[in-house]
A and B are shown apart, each in its own frame.
Chain A
Amino acid sequence: MTKSEFLAQLRRRISNQPPEEIERSISYFSEIIDDRMEDGMDEQEAVSSLGSIDTIVREMLPNDSELKLGSYPAREVSSVRIRDINCAVILECSDGDVISLDYYENKHKKYEIFLSPEGELSVRSKYSKMRFFGFNAFRPFVLRMPRSYRGKISLETGNGPIRAKDVNIEGSFSVKTSNGVIDIIDVSIEGMAEIRTSNARIYLENLTASHIRAKTMNGRIDAISTRAKNTVSLQTMNGRIHVERLYAEKGISLVTSNAGIHGTIDDNIRTFSIKSRTMNGNSTLPSNMDGGTKDLSVHTMNGNIDLHFLK
């Protein structure tokens, strides 16, 4: 491994630390590698003599809570289910062909991790005393997987955000939290994508799936370049819905109550049969239009509907 590869990997592995901590650690190891090379080692040697990145990460972090690492060959895992609470859950891609878990345990919180003979990897957090520690009182749970994964993913937390970025999943994808925002960016799913929170926003960008269902309450929904082979359904109550270049092969449903619905649909209006309604607002859509083979259903109570078609 070269110095810059090592530092990039290290940066990724400690990405859940505060930015100034990350820079400090990077400059420390960068300096050590430079010093070793100045002392006569070649670059590869200087890097490899630091030891494994897992050990480095484990040792350099503060010891109040302990970083744990789990790693499983991706081909032996048919599904991953994570059930956590009071902390963020992050899904990102890793190099190589393993599914790895980074998580912290301390005296209040432990994880039960179980891989069934059928390949179902199940992770569940356990608290020694069930009490409320505050939002995000714990460090995030990070799941890393190969950029392309054949199985099924289910991520669940509460009082914490969920973030997924840069993965292709052949199975289905389910994301559920409450009181936490959800960001799904550059993710492609062969199966269904089910995304659910409450009291927080949902942000989708470059998400493709067969069906996309996103639901929150008291939060806005953004869907940027979101595409479905079948249907897209975005639903909230007290929050606006904003879409950009939204596309679905079979149908689109956008529903809120006390806010507007606006943006662009990457399609021709004539491909749709439209049902739309707002009670106290203006709309750019006809309230009832037959004709197209796809359904477009857009409903709010107190807000404007301002949707435009790009084709």
Chain B
Amino acid sequence: MDPQLKRGLIEVCVLKVLSAGASYGYKIIKDISPIVEISESTLYPILRRLENSGLLDVYTREHNGRLRKYYRITDAGTGRIAEFLDEWKTVMNVYNFIRGGMGNDKI
């Protein structure tokens, strides 16, 4: 998959995961992995970008005697999910068109 596209999709997946409640790095990876392949090092810049654009915020909490960073979705983040779903209506239309054009048996 195009890396740019993949990053964009993972961003929204992260937001979706967080919409169910605040979470931390390792847990986010576990939750997303079944949907799209992701590593710790790819998640890192994505979390940074989401934080910088105000779609999530970060707080630290003690866990088993060490600190763990938790990520929490913001209202802007929730808005971004809605926006994604709206934008991708067009993409889905195109997908269906192409899929129809190729004939279902070829896919």
Contacts and interface: CB of A to CB of B under 8 A. Distances in A.
Partners in one complex: yes
Interface string B28-64: 0100000000011110110010000000000000001
Interface residues of A, number: 23
Interface residues of B, number: 17
B11 to A, nearest CB: 13
A interface majority secondary structure: helix
A128 interface: no
A34 B69 CA distance: 12
B40 A29 contact: yes
A310 interface: no
Interface string B4-38: 00000000000000000000111101000000000
A27 B42 contact: no
Nearest to A30: B66
B68 interface: yes
Nearest to A58: B41
A9 to B, nearest CB: 14
Given A28-B69, A34-B66, A38-B64, A60 B41 contact: yes
B69 A59 contact: no
B45 A59 contact: yes
Contacts of B68: 31, 35
A25 B26 CA distance: 14
Contacts of A58: 41
Nearest to A50: B40
A57 B45 CA distance: 11
A14 to B, nearest CB: 11
A59 B39 contact: yes
Residue among B40, B48, B68 with most chain A CB within 10 A:
B40
A31 to B, nearest CB: 6
Please provide the 5 A-B residue pairs with the shortest distance between their CB atoms, ordered closest to farther: A35-B26, A59-B41, A56-B41, A60-B44, A60-B41
14 contacts: A25-B44, A29-B40, A31-B24, A32-B29, A35-B25, A36-B26, A50-B40, A55-B41, A56-B41, A59-B39, A59-B42, A59-B45, A60-B44, A63-B45
Given A31-B69, A35-B26, 15 more contacts: A24-B48, A27-B67, A31-B66, A32-B26, A35-B68, A36-B26, A39-B26, A50-B40, A50-B41, A55-B39, A59-B42, A59-B44, A59-B45, A60-B41, A61-B45
